[in-house]
Structures are given as structure tokens and as C-alpha cells.
A and B are shown apart, each in its own frame.
Chain A
Amino acid sequence: MPRTGAFTADGKPKVAVYKFSSCDGCQLAILNLEDQLLDLVGAIEVAYFVEARRRELPPPYAIGLVEGSVSTPEEEERIHKIRRDCDFLVTIGACATSGGIQALRNWADVEEFTRYVYAYPEYIKALDTATPIAAHVFVDFELRGCPVNRFQILELVAATLAGRKPAIPTYSLCIECKRRGVSCRLVSAGKPCLGPVTQAGCGALCPAYNRACYGCFGPMELPNVDSLGERFIGLGYSPAEITRMLRSFNGYVEPFKQASDRYAQRD
């Protein structure tokens, strides 16, 4: 149950937007709601949103939207306070949901990273890993994508206002391709398309432009990554190339991570 303090005196839910290590693109998707943003301002109270405004209202908040992955000791602590402050905590985008592109460093030596870029690496307080928010606290709902689909944010807020479950699909991208009438990148074009294991939500953007899906929405519910990987092998791709394809914007989320580790061993 939401706490009473999570609403303003006139009954509007207080919404907070947080940034962790990320590119800001998912927060910007909120500002990109433009016309809808003007309507939304009337229905909710933006209580905390550093990129957009200085004023902040004290917690608790009805909805917390979190962008970015946990990659510094400060962030590791901060996420616990945010969890306490928010009744309904939602991760927005690939970084918050799966660790994001920076999670590629989880397969490498971070000290080597900092030494490479900085003359005084000892001053850099970075964790060895960049991890999804759900690796630290319980997350109520996840919105996928790099970046997130802004209309899914709108749907999430609208559904929460109406007290219903957000209508966010968990099936594969293939369904969106078929609906859009796009010919299959994998079957017809023989391209290494991650669509069959990737969650829908983007509207089949890349396949519609004759490009194979690179999985920016992350794994669908119960994906069969190995089966797709074997198909890629059949198309002539090496285990190393399959590892590389799986390790991109959502490489550190379990189904992709496990499969990529298996293909890395086969290399």
C-alpha cells in the first residue's frame, strides 16, 4: 500500500526520477514526451528530477523511476535509501535493468581500465562491476530498451494512476515484426538477428530498416538463447562472434550473460 505522504494534499502521486551511471538518454525520453508532458504535469507531482528542476519535495514518493547502473560505492549506498523512499520502484532502460553497455567491464580488470585512461588511477573510486539495480534492491517493475520507449513510461505512469497493471509486452520482437509485415531478417535474409530472444517494445525498428536486431530491449521472458546461437553457428558465425553479439547493451543480464559465457568457453 502506498504511504499517504507519497501523495500531495490534492491527491497527486509524487514521482521521483533518479540517475545512476548512464548516458541520461532514458531521463531525456521523459522530457521527449513533450505534449504529453504538459498533460502529465497536471496529473502527477514531479517531486524529484534533478535534470529538470531545482525544487524537490521530501520523500516518500509514490513512483520512483531509476536510470543507470550501480558502478560506484556511493551509488551502492544511495540505491538503498531510494528503495526506502519509493513505494513503487521502476528501472528505466538497459543500464538500470541489466547494467548497460558499461557492464562490459565486468568481464575485464577495472584497475586496468582506470590506469589506461587516468594518470592517477588511485583517485578513482569505481566498483569492479557495473550492475543492474535489481542486483541491489527489490525492483517492482522493469522498463527495457536503450533507450527506453517513452510511450512505455507514459503507459506505466497512466496504469499506476489507474491502479492497473501496465500493458507492457514480454513476448519476443518477432511478434512485432510479423505485425508490421517485415520479412524475417534471420530466415529470409540469413542475418544474425537477436529478435527471437529479445523482448518486444521498440516496434521492430531495426528489422523495418533491413537491419538485424541487436537486442537493445534485452531478453524476452524465457528465451532460448542456445537454440538461436546454434542457428547462428549454422549461418557460419563463430562462438567468439556470438559472444560479442550477446555482450552489448544487455550483455550482463542473466540469460544473455550465461549464454555468452558458454560461447566464450567454446571459442
Chain B
Amino acid sequence: MANTITIEPVTRIEGHAKVTIRVDDAGKVSEARMHVNEFRGFEKFCEGRLFFEMPLITQRICGICPVSHHLASTKACDAIVGLEVPRPAGLLRELMHMGQFIQSHALHLFHLASPDLLLGFDADPAIRNVVGVIGANPELALKGVGLRKYGQEVIRKLGGKRIHPFDGASPTSMNKGLSAADREELRRGIDRVVGDFQQAVAVVKGYAAQNESLMSSFATFPSGYMGLVDGKGQLELYDGRIRLLGPDLKPWEPDFAPADYLKHIGEHVEDWSYLKFPFYRKLGYPAGTYRVGPLARLNLCRGISTPLARAEWKQFKALGSGGAVEGSLFFHLARVIEGLFAAERARELLDDSDITVSETITLGPVKNAAGVGVVEAPRGTLIHNYWVDENGRLEKVNLIVSTGHNNWAMNRAVNEVAKAFVDGSRLTEGMLNRVEAAIRCYDPCLSCSTHAIGQMPLVLELEGPDGRVMDRKARGGG
């Protein structure tokens, strides 16, 4: 008798998810799906608000990466006002963004992913958590805490508080400058942050070397890749052009301006998930599906501007022997290399003499009826697009979040893992863990992805070919 397995909620991801696995009469997995079901409705309830309120409102989409929404939103507002951002404000915003990367990537590695990496997929769930990591490797755990604290401190110094910083950036400028004393304090701590990320890279590389066959087989598949690059085609997180490459790393489209995203990106809808599936328009769905985030960014860039991260990136590229690195578990390695880049880049920004210059520009009148703001959030490309009337009242809002771009890839990863590890006849703890671990590679942010709809613990349901639920494993969820 065929079955469906549901895992709910998926733990140690941001937010909640549900996975159903359908098996055929022979007990083999025929299809697995990750469902996202929660409704908040940001795009609609923002209509009628004033555009300059958006940097504060949209950061409430997500408590994990409020800075990303804050900055993407601010950039969209800049475009509406049509003013150039003064250089010091640009530096401060980028510094805030680096603080966000440091804290978010550290959170994912130390709190969410390291229990799998350090303790193994089959470890007793009683110890396979952040407390277990503290027990197994207290030094590493403390480093994780320290890195997060530093990143959060950068955000707090520039935006007043750690979560939902208020108006750190307002259209065309920053509300708050960086004092000489705060700059000194951050500079004193930054070398240690760089060093700790180097160690974190070493830990993940060590894991990858010891688990070579798992790394190359676990949820490994070709896809397109999308992300921002700077003028030289190097890794860029704050501002640049969008690069979209095929599975062979050849361009699907010449690098394009963020404002042109609608020409190239379409969104597919499935009736079983509230989260849409973006794709490259020319190829259609699913041929034009792509991945975003750390793995995509390191695959598509032509280099990294900072020396330590560049050296690690070269080794990373060698893993793909000229082609793309496709294994989902390599997201973890790419993520710590990006953390190292963010730390090095923060150091450069803190050394820039313009960073303490305070210069303000008064918010101008509405110049353009629409504005697009794009940044690379820790999880991937984040797009905010607003349309306003002549008084600055919002007429339409479109948001495409990082986790949305990876929706197809997460489903693909779940499918690969379910087919490899799930035996249709029974549910085991290790099996559930592997399905969860596949999703966790993408560090999905379900608050972001459900900004429109909302909620996602993971249920695993075993479903027959007729769709009847035969078995169900639900943890938490209430």
C-alpha cells in the first residue's frame, strides 16, 4: 500500500514548513514536496501608505534579516526620489549590511547547521541542538556567540537596536552617523571576527574533506544561478548588476540592471504552496529555474575583492573542476566564505575615512512613479518594487524574497534526499533529519517567504498514490 510521509514542523529553520512524500505501490518515493502555508499580506496592506514608511514597515517581514528588507526598501525609495546617495551614507549602509551578513551567517552555522555537521544526522535528538554543540565544542560555540554579537552590535550602532533597527537608513541618506568612538570600538573587534570566520571556514572545509562522498551526492543537481556582481564581475552584496547564468555557468542573459528584473523574472504558482516559484522568462518553468544565495553567488562571481575570502573562493571553485559546485551541502561552505568576505569588507569600510563624515540630504519630492531596490540578502537576491502616485502614496508593491527564488531548488533537494534515504515502509528519525537537513542547506527564511501568506513548521506526511495520508510524523506544530 502506497503512503505519504509528512514532516512537520521542520526544526532549526527560520519559520515553519511541511513536507509530504508520496510513495508508489512498490514503496518507492514518487514525489516529495515542501509546502509553505502562512498569510500576512504585506504587498496589499502597504497600499495607500506613504513610500517613505516602507523601510520601517517592510523590515517587519522578517526578524532574521530586517536589515536586508530595510536596505532594499530604502534603495527603492531612493529611486522614487531620484537622488544620488552621498558616499558616506552608502558606506554606512554597506557596513550595516556586512553586520547583517556576519550575524546571519554566524547564526545559521552555529545555531542551525552545526548540530548536523558536528554531531551527525543520526545523533540523539536530545543532544543534536545548539546546547549539544556547546557541549561538544564549547570554543566553537562561544565563537559563534561572539560573531553574532559583533554583527548585531554593528547594526545596533548604526540603527539603534538589533532587530528592526529604526530608520538606520532613510531614503537617500542615513539618519544616524558613526561616531569616531563607535568606529574605534568596532575596529578593535574586527580582526578577531575575521580570524573566527577563518576558523569557521577551516571547520566546514574539514567536514567537507571527511565527508566527500556525502557532500558530492547529497541533494546535488544542476540549476541556473542568480546574484549581484560588481563592475568587475566580483562578489557583490549591496549594490551592483544582476547576473543570471545557466547550469554550465554560461550567461542566460547579459548582466542586467536591477530595475529590469520584471523583463527577465517570472513567477510560477502551484496550488499546494503559498510560495511562488520564480523562473527565467525566456526558458519558462521549470527549465528556467535557478538558485540564489551563497552557493549561487560563489558559483557565478569571477572573484572576490578581499584577499582571504578570495583565496578560499579559489579552492571552492576548484571543487567544481571548472564547472559549478552543485551539492546543496556546499551552501554551508559558501556561507562561511561569504562570512569571511563580509568581515574583511567591514574592516575596509571601517578604515575608510569617509565613514564618519555626516552628511544629510533632505527627502525630496516624488520624481519617479516607480522604484526598484535590490540587495543580496544573506539568503539571496531580494527585490522590492514600489509604484506611487504624485503624493508618494503607494499604489502597488511587489516583493520577491530570497527564499522564494530557492523554492524550486528546495523542493528538488527534498525530492533527491527523499528518493535516496526514505524507505516507504517506515519512518526513521535519521530519515526525517536528512530531509530537514536538505532544506536547512538553503537556510530558508519562512517569515520572509510567507510575508504574503504565513507559517511553516515541518510536517512529514506519507501519502498513497491516491493521495490518502497513511502515516504522519509531526513534531511541535501544537
A residues near B (Cβ < 8 Å) are 18-29, 31-32, 34-35, 38, 41, 46, 48, 50-56, 71-72, 74-75, 78, 81-82, 100-102, 104-105, 108, 110, 112-114, 116-120, 123-126, 130, 146-147, 202, 205-206, 208-211, 214, 216, 244, 248-249
Contact between chains at B44 and A117 (CB < 8 Å): yes
A24-B478 contact in complex given A51-B12, A211-B175, C-beta closer than 8 Å: no
Chain B residues with CB under 8 Å of A72's CB are 37-39, 454-455
Provide the bound-state CA to CA distance between A126 and B41, in Å. Answer: 10
Contact between chains at B39 and A54 (CB < 8 Å): no
> Does B370 count as interface, using CB distance less than 8 angstroms?
no
Contact between chains at A23 and B43 (CB < 8 Å): no
A-B residue pairs in contact (CB < 8 Å), sample of 15: A22-B454, A31-B107, A34-B149, A48-B476, A50-B11, A52-B111, A52-B130, A54-B11, A72-B37, A102-B42, A110-B41, A114-B453, A119-B269, A214-B56, A216-B164
Chain B residues with CB under 8 Å of A19's CB are 15-16, 455, 457
Provide the bound-state CA to CA distance between A126 and B40, in Å. Answer: 9
Q: How far is the CB of B271 from chain A (nearest CB, A)?
A: 5
Q: How far is the CB of B119 from chain A (nearest CB, A)?
A: 11
Provide the bound-state CA to CA distance between A48 and B11, in Å. Answer: 11
7 nearest CB pairs, A to B: A25-B63, A53-B129, A78-B478, A126-B39, A104-B45, A113-B44, A102-B40
Contact between chains at A53 and B11 (CB < 8 Å): yes
Chain B residues with CB under 8 Å of A71's CB are 38-40, 454-455
Q: How far is the CB of B108 from chain A (nearest CB, A)?
A: 12
Provide the bound-state CA to CA distance between A209 and B163, in Å. Answer: 16
Provide the bound-state CA to CA distance between A55 and B61, in Å. Answer: 28
Contact between chains at B166 and A206 (CB < 8 Å): yes
Contact between chains at B453 and A117 (CB < 8 Å): yes
Contact between chains at B56 and A112 (CB < 8 Å): no
Chain B residues with CB under 8 Å of A27's CB are 63
Q: How far is the CB of A107 from chain B (nearest CB, A)?
A: 8
Mask of B124-149 contacts with A, CB within 8 angstroms, 1/0: 01101111001000000000010011
- Identity of the chain A residue whose Cβ is nearest the Cβ of B162 in the assembled complex: A32
Q: How far is the CB of A260 from chain B (nearest CB, A)?
A: 13
State which residues 272-296 of B face A: CB under 8 Å: 272, 274, 276
Provide the bound-state CA to CA distance between A150 and B45, in Å. Answer: 28
Contact between chains at B44 and A112 (CB < 8 Å): yes
Provide the bound-state CA to CA distance between A212 and B162, in Å. Answer: 19
Contact between chains at B41 and A117 (CB < 8 Å): yes
B residues near A (Cβ < 8 Å) are 9, 11-16, 37-45, 49-50, 56-57, 60-64, 66, 107, 111, 125-126, 128-131, 134, 145, 148-149, 152, 160-164, 166-167, 175-176, 269, 271-272, 274, 276, 433, 445, 447, 450, 452-455, 457, 475-478
Provide the bound-state CA to CA distance between A120 and B268, in Å. Answer: 11
Chain A residues with CB under 8 Å of B111's CB are 31, 52
Provide the bound-state CA to CA distance between A29 and B41, in Å. Answer: 24
Q: Which of B40, B148, B454 has the most CB of A within 10 A?
A: B40
Chain B residues with CB under 8 Å of A210's CB are 175
A249-B166 contact in complex given A56-B475, A112-B44, C-beta closer than 8 Å: no
Provide the bound-state CA to CA distance between A71 and B46, in Å. Answer: 18
A147-B37 contact in complex given A28-B64, A53-B131, A120-B271, C-beta closer than 8 Å: no
State the main secondary structure of chain B at its contact with A. loop
Give the number of A-B contacts (CB < 8 Å). Answer: 193
Chain A residues with CB under 8 Å of B13's CB are 51
Chain B residues with CB under 8 Å of A113's CB are 39, 41, 44-45
Further 16 A-B residue pairs, CB within 8 A, beyond A108-B45, A209-B175: A19-B457, A23-B62, A25-B66, A35-B145, A72-B38, A101-B45, A101-B60, A102-B39, A102-B454, A114-B453, A116-B43, A125-B37, A209-B160, A209-B166, A211-B167, A248-B57
- Identity of the chain B residue whose Cβ is nearest the Cβ of A123 in the assembled complex: B271
- Identity of the chain A residue whose Cβ is nearest the Cβ of B69 in the assembled complex: A23
- Identity of the chain A residue whose Cβ is nearest the Cβ of B161 in the assembled complex: A205
Chain B residues with CB under 8 Å of A104's CB are 41, 45
A126-B453 contact in complex given A52-B130, A214-B56, C-beta closer than 8 Å: yes
- Identity of the chain B residue whose Cβ is nearest the Cβ of A48 in the assembled complex: B476
CB-contact partner of B454 in A21, A48, A214, under 8 A: A21
Chain B residues with CB under 8 Å of A146's CB are 60, 164
Provide the bound-state CA to CA distance between A78 and B161, in Å. Answer: 32
Provide the bound-state CA to CA distance between A248 and B60, in Å. Answer: 11
Chain A residues with CB under 8 Å of B163's CB are 25, 28-29, 32, 147
CB-contact partner of A24 in B14, B175, B457, under 8 A: B14
Chain B residues with CB under 8 Å of A38's CB are 134, 145
Chain B residues with CB under 8 Å of A118's CB are 269, 274, 276, 452-453
Q: Which of B15, B128, B478 has the most CB of A within 10 A?
A: B478
Chain B residues with CB under 8 Å of A116's CB are 43-44
CB-contact partner of A55 in B43, B125, B176, B477, under 8 A: B125
Q: How far is the CB of A115 from chain B (nearest CB, A)?
A: 9
Q: How far is the CB of B46 from chain A (nearest CB, A)?
A: 8
A51-B14 contact in complex given A23-B61, A81-B478, A119-B269, C-beta closer than 8 Å: yes
Chain B residues with CB under 8 Å of A244's CB are 49-50
A52-B12 contact in complex given A18-B478, A25-B63, A25-B164, C-beta closer than 8 Å: yes
Contact between chains at B38 and A50 (CB < 8 Å): no
Q: How far is the CB of A263 from chain B (nearest CB, A)?
A: 15
Provide the bound-state CA to CA distance between A74 and B38, in Å. Answer: 10
- Identity of the chain A residue whose Cβ is nearest the Cβ of B126 in the assembled complex: A55
- Identity of the chain A residue whose Cβ is nearest the Cβ of B59 in the assembled complex: A23
Q: Which of A26, A110, A126, A248 has the most CB of B within 10 A?
A: A126
Contact between chains at B453 and A32 (CB < 8 Å): no
Chain B residues with CB under 8 Å of A208's CB are 160
